[in-house]
């Protein structure tokens, strides 16, 4: 048997089943699969000298600290009855077999160690007999609890940037989010995909949008370290219910944003979805404005939109104005024909170009213009045109 179950437990705060297991190193690598690295987008492989020492130690048979895996949400319902069966009858054979299936888990803690183990295997190293890996499996299918567990509990266990936490979260929830929003497609950098149609966004951009939504800031990397830490601390100082409600609100506005993107693509490109899309990661802000059909997929626009919702709508009584404004914008986009400029991007580009690059950071100025412009649009419930909003937002 590949996985040897050595203990069953349950996190009493989130009611999350936990399975403690042990397995041979080669079996562990088989379970996580060859594409295990896809779970951590934009997370570069570390090259610390300490890892070279660790590699040598592992080659000699050293044991590693336990690794944390999460059963992918789509497989939780299959494993859960087997977990309960193991509790009721002390029969862990079926549970062990299910956990031994390759490609059904994500690595939450232990990516660098897995890189080293994978390198050793590729080099032809044969692991010492009896050299086992301790693994903790998280078995959680409730999105709200998974969000809480990853963002809050991980933050209390070890230093981890809020960006990294959100990346882990969205890699787990990517499929679930796509299922909740019709025709939405979220692709990773490793998939080597490009945006050739609307309603398709890079995962890195969606992650940035959610980070802006929970912090209320379009500046994801503030120069003021204290201000940045305060924003992140406020974002993490929330209950499970608050985080779950916040995530549902994000999905709601992401659904509206996706609908807007479909109409913008039609209006600004004539619906030519077969054309080769731009490489958004290599485009400047100015180029993104020129490729107007892909404007909403630009990271600056994405983060500014979601930051503006929080900054203006932090008082619940104001949220109805945001909803009215967005309903109005979607309606105007639907009736606009090819060649129109319902977003008034020509005005936006002129206003943005008016910033003196010698006096201001162009990126910061662009995000500020976008955020303030959206806030102006929300403030008047969409009755003021974006043409006027971009002008009012200029400083």
Distance CA 195, CA 198 (A): 7
At 104-154, the pLDDT tens digits run: 998 877 888 999 999 999 999 999 888 999 999 989 877 667 666 666 555
Question: How many independent structural domains does the chain possess?
Answer: 2
**Inter-residue contact 23 to 3 (CB < 8 Å):** yes
Q: Is 370 found in the same domain as 222?
A: yes
Distance CA 181, CA 252 (A): 9
Regarding pTM above 0.85, the answer is no
Q: In the chain, pLDDT over 90 holds for what percent of residues?
A: 46
Q: Is 133 found in the same domain as 170?
A: no
**Inter-residue contact 67 to 135 (CB < 8 Å):** yes
Q: Is 382 found in the same domain as 308?
A: yes
Q: Is 389 found in the same domain as 309?
A: yes
Distance CA 343, CA 298 (A): 14
Tell me which of 239-243, 288-292, 348-352 is least confident.
Answer: 288-292
Q: Is 378 found in the same domain as 316?
A: yes
Q: Is 122 found in the same domain as 267?
A: no
Distance CA 199, CA 186 (A): 9
CA–CA distances in Å: residue 290 to residues 40, 199, 286? 32, 19, 7
Tell me which of 52-56, 70-74, 142-146, 295-299 is least confident.
Answer: 142-146
Residues spanned by the domain of 214: 144-393
**Which DSSP state fits 218?**
S
Domain boundary (89, 123, 141) is at 141
Domain boundary (106, 141, 176) is at 141
Q: Is 170 found in the same domain as 133?
A: no
Q: Is 220 found in the same domain as 74?
A: no
Least Cα distance to 17 among 215, 149, 108 occurs for 149
At 318-353, the pLDDT tens digits run: 899 999 999 999 999 999 998 899 999 999 999 988
Beta strands in 195-322 (DSSP E): 200-202
Domain boundary (112, 141, 170) is at 141
């Amino acid at each position: 048997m590949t996985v040897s179950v050595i203990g069953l437990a349950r996190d009493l705060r989130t009611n999350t089943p936990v399975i403690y297991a042990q397995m041979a190193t080669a079996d562990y690598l088989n379970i996580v699969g060859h594409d295990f690295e896809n779970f951590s987008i934009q997370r570069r492989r570390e090259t610390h000298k300490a890892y070279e020492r660790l590699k040598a130690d592992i080659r000699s048979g050293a044991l590693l600290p336990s690794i944390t895996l999460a059963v992918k949400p789509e497989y939780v319902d299959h494993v859960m009855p087997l977990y309960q069966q193991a509790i009721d009858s002390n029969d862990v054979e079926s549970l062990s077999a299910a956990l031994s299936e390759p490609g059904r888990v994500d690595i939450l803690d232990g990516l660098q160690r897995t890189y080293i183990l994978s390198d050793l295997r590729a080099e032809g190293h044969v692991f010492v007999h009896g050299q086992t890996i301790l693994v903790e499996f998280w078995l959680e299918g409730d999105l709200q609890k998974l969000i809480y567990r990853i963002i809050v509990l991980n933050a209390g266990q070890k230093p981890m940037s809020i960006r990294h936490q959100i990346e882990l979260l969205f890699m787990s929830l990517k499929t679930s989010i796509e299922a909740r929003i019709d025709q939405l497609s979220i692709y990773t950098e490793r998939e080597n995909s490009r945006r050739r149609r609307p309603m398709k966004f890079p995962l890195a951009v969606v992650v940035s949008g959610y980070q802006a939504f929970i912090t209320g800031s379009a500046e994801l990397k503030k120069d003021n370290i204290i201000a940045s830490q305060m924003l992140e601390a406020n974002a993490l100082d929330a209950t499970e219910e608050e985080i779950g409600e916040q995530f549902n609100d994000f999905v709601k506005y992401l659904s509206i944003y996706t609908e807007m993107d479909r109409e913008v693509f039609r209006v600004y490109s004539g619906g030519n979805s077969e054309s080769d899309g731009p490489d958004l990661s290599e485009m400047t802000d100015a180029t993104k404005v020129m490729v107007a059909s892909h404007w909403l997929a630009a990271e600056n626009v994405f983060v500014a939109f979601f930051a503006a919702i929080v900054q203006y709508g932090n008082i619940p009584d104001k949220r109805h104005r945001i909803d009215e404004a967005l309903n109005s914008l979607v309606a105007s986009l639907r009736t606009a024909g090819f060649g129109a400029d319902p977003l008034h991007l020509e005005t936006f580009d002129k206003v943005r170009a008016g910033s003196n690059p010698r006096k201001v950071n162009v990126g910061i100025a662009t995000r500020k213009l976008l955020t303030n412009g959206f806030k102006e649009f929300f403030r008047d419930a969409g009755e003021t045109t974006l043409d006027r909003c971009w002008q009012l937002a200029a400083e």
